[in-house]
Amino acid sequence: MKIKNRVYQIETSSRNSWLNLVSESFANQLDENTYPLRFSIVEHTDNRITIEATVVLFDDNDPYAETFRDIELLAPGKKTYQDSTFGVVQIVPTGIRCEFGGFAGDACPATNLLASAANFVVTHPNAVNASELNEMADNVYYVEGKALDDFLLGRLALSPVRSNKIGTFIDPTGLNLIDYVINTLNAARAVKGVDCKQYTVLRDKLGVEVAWSETGCAVGTVLNPIAILEAVEFLIQQGMQAVGGVSVIAGVTKEMFAQHLAGKIPNPSGGIEAIITHLISKVFKIPTAHAPLPYYTDIKEKDTINPRASAEFISTPHYFSVLKGLHKAPQLVPLSADETPPPHLKSLNHIGAVVMPADALGGIPAMAAEYHNIPLIAVAENQTVLNITNDKMKMHNVISVDSYLEAAGVVLALREGISLESLRRPLNPSSPIDLPEPNSN
């Protein structure tokens, strides 16, 4: 099994929806035994889009081959109604230098603000993880990014829990830091009461390396993905209900890290962590998250003038935020494309809005929102390295706002059933709609 970063070109002369167009293009362009683990539209011209993707290449005899044959994108479920319990999905894509959430958990205040305006918010670890800090509100569901994609595709539902038994895998490259990890586990047990006693050290090094796409996104690669999957399978066999991991990310230079702290490039580790957790979510359908062990002993400065990155400087293992998130992360319940989710589960039918950066509308969350006709609140202030705005995508369901303050107001109005038009001025007069001419036949 191998992880590769690929680029695809797709013609866009006509489309029913972006989800249909992209899924059909992948069906036509993906080689045999290839699974699209992570992808996004990164360029858009008048009649062509460019997609950067991380794919899994597998052989028929790979132990997890059958799992990767099911491409959720090709068979999405469908939202059938809007439940009275009003949920919001908050998306902060990793590896694209988001102004909010591109650093150490600095999207958490925005996430909590949205949570105060909704019955619940579903978001991914990238939005709230901040080294030793994770201050997400009680009605925020912590769902890994691949699982969140599948949730929006109608292929997963969420089952809230009181707590999870958490196992941890450790990349042997970081064995010199294992005491920090064990102390983090013990502190979480002693202080917060988290059930996270068990950990395992991988047999082989993961070979986790930083890499960059042509558009400047942090993508990365993992040279030994089977080592992760075997370790997670073992932990599940030991009774674990959620799995976290820590690994050392190679290839980060002092200049690279300084540019990230200055807000000039994405966090180098973002794309790699997504690959690791996407693999786990795809194969095992359990709550998961990852933290980077220090890769910067001689790289990281002792202080920073960027408050958004400050949480990175108060920890060595960066792992407690993961344990706090996984502690009560909802369990993932797989659904077939035509399956109606049981009403006791949180599903696509509860989602009344998706909130995400206004210039990053090229991923599954935006496409799924359009496909299901869910309002997509596009936040202009959360700028990224991309330029995939609704001026280019031309989706019918996008509500453009400047800030998360405004986004929360839109969420509250949608939740209460208040017309957005009635909250803006000028308020135009009612207008007639002419009936069609009667058919002469």
Q: Give the H/E segment covering residue 68.
A: helix 65-68
pLDDT of residue 303: 63
Reported pTM: 0.95
pLDDT of residue 441: 63
Tell me the C-alpha distance between 189 and 292, whole Å. Answer: 21
Q: Is 241 left (phi over 0), alpha (psi -120 to 50) or beta?
A: alpha
Asked if the peptide bond before residue 426 counts as cis, ω within 30 degrees of 0, the response is yes
Asked whether 180 and 317 are in contact (CB, 8 A), the reply is yes
Tell me the C-alpha distance between 391 and 153, whole Å. Answer: 24
Q: How many other C-beta atoms lie within 10 A of the C-beta of residue 333?
A: 17
Residue ranges covered by each domain of the chain: 2-74, 87-334
pLDDT of residue 257: 81
Tell me the C-alpha distance between 272 and 334, whole Å. Answer: 25
* CA 386, chain centre distance (Å): 16
Asked whether 181 and 317 are in contact (CB, 8 A), the reply is yes
> What would the DSSP string read from start to end of 110-153?
HHHHHHHHSSEEEE-HHHH-BTTB----TTEEE--HHHHHHHHT
Tell me the C-alpha distance between 345 and 253, whole Å. Answer: 45
* CA 77, chain centre distance (Å): 19
Cα-based distances in Å from 173 to 131, 309, 316, 430? 20, 25, 15, 67
Tell me the C-alpha distance between 172 and 49, whole Å. Answer: 40
Q: In what order do the strands lie in the sheet with 398-401?
A: 140-142, 120-123, 87-90, 351-357, 376-379, 398-401
Cα-based distances in Å from 128 to 40, 55, 158, 159, 430? 22, 26, 19, 20, 44
219 closest CA partner among 274, 173, 259: 274
The tens place of each residue's pLDDT in the chain, 441 residues long, gives: 999 999 999 998 778 899 999 998 888 899 999 999 999 999 998 889 999 999 999 999 999 999 999 999 999 999 999 999 999 999 999 999 999 998 889 999 999 999 999 999 999 999 999 989 999 999 999 999 999 999 999 999 999 999 999 999 999 998 999 999 999 999 999 999 999 999 999 988 888 888 899 889 999 889 999 999 999 999 999 999 999 999 988 888 888 888 888 888 888 888 889 999 999 999 999 999 999 987 655 555 666 678 888 887 787 888 999 999 999 999 999 999 999 999 899 999 999 999 999 999 999 999 999 999 999 999 999 999 999 999 999 999 999 999 999 999 999 999 999 999 999 999 999 999 999 988 766
Cα-based distances in Å from 292 to 104, 127, 378? 12, 16, 30
Q: Give the H/E segment covering residue 255.
A: helix 254-261
Q: Any idea of the CA torsion for 17, 335, 107, 4, to the nearest 10 degrees?
A: -70
Q: Is 73 left (phi over 0), alpha (psi -120 to 50) or beta?
A: alpha
126 closest CA partner among 360, 291, 252: 291
Cα-based distances in Å from 79 to 17, 155, 375? 15, 11, 13
pLDDT of residue 293: 85
pLDDT of residue 174: 87
Architecture of domain 2-74: 2-Layer Sandwich (3.30)
pLDDT of residue 374: 98
